[in-house]
């Protein structure tokens, strides 16, 4: 009879203690790991930004090499995702301004009204649901020396500097995440 009483298993108190210990370990692990999700999101945005810049430069170079430098002005305000060989899986397409809230967080879209590429950021972990980071917005701009002052690129008179993907909003998001990393 003594042998059977030893093999009864865990008592309720022992089980509760084990569950509490596992909960504490899980909370500590999550507290350490969640900031990496924010960092991964930031790096993902910066990586795609670099890919788009390379695609724009390549397209501009093809136009110049093909004797179509005047067509570079078509890139101004265009959707750079159309130039990508393959759009990222989290690109949801071109949307009107009133469809912004329908775009899920952590996804890209092109705003047809503002002619900007927008990334809808996710919620920062450890903050309230209302505390979203500013959505970075980018626009394609032709950089040139406007010699005749008409604000349009004309290859015959203006000096072409290149095509750039310009950050026009959400800079505090990028700056804030860079400051956190340092």
Mean pLDDT for the chain? 85
Q: Which two tokens stand for residue 15?
A: 């089980």
Does residue 13 form part of some domain? Answer: no
Does residue 7 form part of some domain? Answer: no
Distance CA 113, CA 96 (A): 6
Tell the residue number behind the tokens 């505390």, with chain if given.
Answer: 131
Distance CA 104, CA 8 (A): 52
Distance CA 59, CA 73 (A): 12
Residue 137 near residue 118, CB atoms below 8 Å: yes
Does residue 53 form part of some domain? Answer: yes
Task: Convert the pLDDT of each residue in 44-60 to its tens digit.
Answer: 999 999 999 999 999 99
Distance CA 177, CA 173 (A): 6
Residue 125 near residue 103, CB atoms below 8 Å: no
Does residue 17 form part of some domain? Answer: no
Report whether pLDDT(179) > 90: no
Mean pLDDT of 126-140: 70
Mean pLDDT of 70-95: 94
Report whether pLDDT(118) > 90: yes
Total structural domains within the chain: 1
Phi-psi region of 126 (alpha: psi -120 to 50; beta: other; left: phi over 0): left
Mean pLDDT of 92-112: 94
Report whether pLDDT(181) > 90: no
Grade residue 128 by pLDDT with cuts at 50, 70 and 90: very low
* 140 three-class SS: strand
Q: What percent of the chain has pLDDT over 90?
A: 52
Task: Convert the pLDDT of each residue in 6-37 to its tens digit.
Answer: 666 778 899 999 999 999 999 998 888 888 88
Distance CA 141, CA 73 (A): 9
Report whether pLDDT(131) > 60: no
Q: Which residues contact 45 (CB under 8 A, 6 or more apart)?
A: 119, 136, 174
Does residue 6 form part of some domain? Answer: no
Instruction: Write b or e for each residue in 137-168: b if 16 or more Cβ atoms lie within 10 A of its Cβ, otherwise e.
Output: bbbbbbebeeeeeeeebeeeebebeebbbeee
Domain assignment of residue 63, given as a range: 35-181
Higher pLDDT, 151 or 75: 75
Overall size of the chain counted in residues: 182
Does residue 130 form part of some domain? Answer: yes
What's the confidence (pLDDT) of residue 40? 86
Does residue 90 form part of some domain? Answer: yes
Does residue 24 form part of some domain? Answer: no
Q: What percent of the chain has pLDDT over 70?
A: 83
Task: Convert the pLDDT of each residue in 136-173 to its tens digit.
Answer: 999 999 999 999 899 888 888 888 888 999 988 775 55
């Amino acid at each position: 009879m003594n042998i059977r009483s030893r093999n009864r298993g865990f008592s309720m108190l022992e089980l509760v203690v084990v569950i509490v210990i596992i909960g504490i370990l899980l909370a500590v692990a999550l507290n350490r790991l969640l900031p990496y999700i924010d960092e991964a999101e930031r790096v993902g945005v910066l990586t795609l930004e670099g890919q788009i810049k390379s695609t724009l430069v390549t397209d501009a170079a093809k136009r110049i090499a093909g004797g179509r430098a005047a067509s570079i002005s078509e890139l101004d305000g265009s959707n750079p995702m159309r130039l990508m060989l393959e759009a990222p899986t989290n690109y949801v397409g071109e949307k009107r301004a009133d469809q912004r809230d329908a775009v899920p967080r952590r996804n890209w879209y092109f705003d047809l009204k503002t002619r900007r590429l927008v990334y809808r950021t996710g919620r920062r972990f450890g903050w309230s649901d209302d505390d979203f980071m500013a959505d970075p917005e980018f626009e394609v701009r032709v950089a040139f020396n406007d010699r005749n002052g008409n604000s349009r690129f004309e290859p015959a008179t203006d000096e072409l500097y290149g095509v750039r993907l310009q950050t026009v909003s959400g800079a505090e998001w990028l700056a804030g995440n860079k400051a956190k990393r340092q």
